[in-house]
């Protein structure tokens, strides 16, 4: 009921508790900024995603007025990668939050974390040229 009262537009039972809490916590700030790029960024952040958002005037060459591009990465939740349904939920929230007249191109990126080991060896070598003379 709290989410509904605060104006959270979507609520899924399969979302982790941490996502539900983040959605409730950010509901009022998102509602205040609805229709802006900042609101879109905040919505994606509540789902644990990261986006690179470029509006039409930030593109080279400039894009069609009223358009923007989104590249979004969603990290794994509790070791489980994001499902297609979960990404669709995020896209639906972007649609509810973006400016009504704006259109966008969506690209999904992947975030991979891992450890890479680098080994190096150092072997100093000294070289001295000897010159021998007869005396």
Grade residue 111 by pLDDT with cuts at 50, 70 and 90.
low
Per-residue pLDDT for 102 more than 70?
yes
Position 27 scores a pLDDT of 87
pLDDT one-digit tens code per residue, 46-86: 888 889 999 999 999 999 999 999 999 887 666 667 888 88
pTM above 0.85, yes or no: no
Position 105 scores a pLDDT of 92
pLDDT one-digit tens code per residue, 5-51: 666 777 778 878 888 888 888 888 888 899 999 999 999 998 888 89
Give every CB contact of residue 37 below 8 A, 6+ residues apart in sequence: 53, 55, 68
- What DSSP character marks residue 98? S
The overall average pLDDT reported for the chain is 82
CA–CA–CA angle 103, 21, 86 (5° rounding): 45
Domain ranges of the chain: 2-109
Tokens 């802006």 belong to 36
Position 14 scores a pLDDT of 81
Structure-token pair, residue 117: 């080991």
Report which of 31, 95, 32, 33 is spatially closest to residue 68, judged by C-alpha positions: 95
Distance of alpha carbon 35 from alpha carbon 104, whole angstroms? 13
């Amino acid at each position: 009921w709290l989410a509904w009262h605060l104006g959270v537009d979507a609520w899924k039972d399969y979302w982790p508790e941490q996502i539900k809490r983040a959605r409730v916590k950010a509901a009022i700030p998102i509602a205040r900024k609805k229709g802006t790029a900042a609101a879109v960024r905040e919505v994606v952040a509540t789902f644990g995603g990261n986006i690179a958002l470029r509006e039409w005037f930030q593109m080279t060459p400039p894009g069609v007025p009223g358009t923007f591009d989104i590249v979004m990465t969603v990290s794994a939740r509790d070791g489980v990668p994001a499902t297609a349904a979960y990404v669709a939920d995020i896209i639906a929230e972007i649609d509810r939050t973006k400016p009504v007249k704006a259109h966008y191109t969506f690209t999904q990126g992947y975030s991979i974390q891992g450890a890479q080991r680098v080994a190096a060896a150092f072997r100093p070598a000294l070289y001295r040229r000897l010159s021998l003379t007869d005396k």
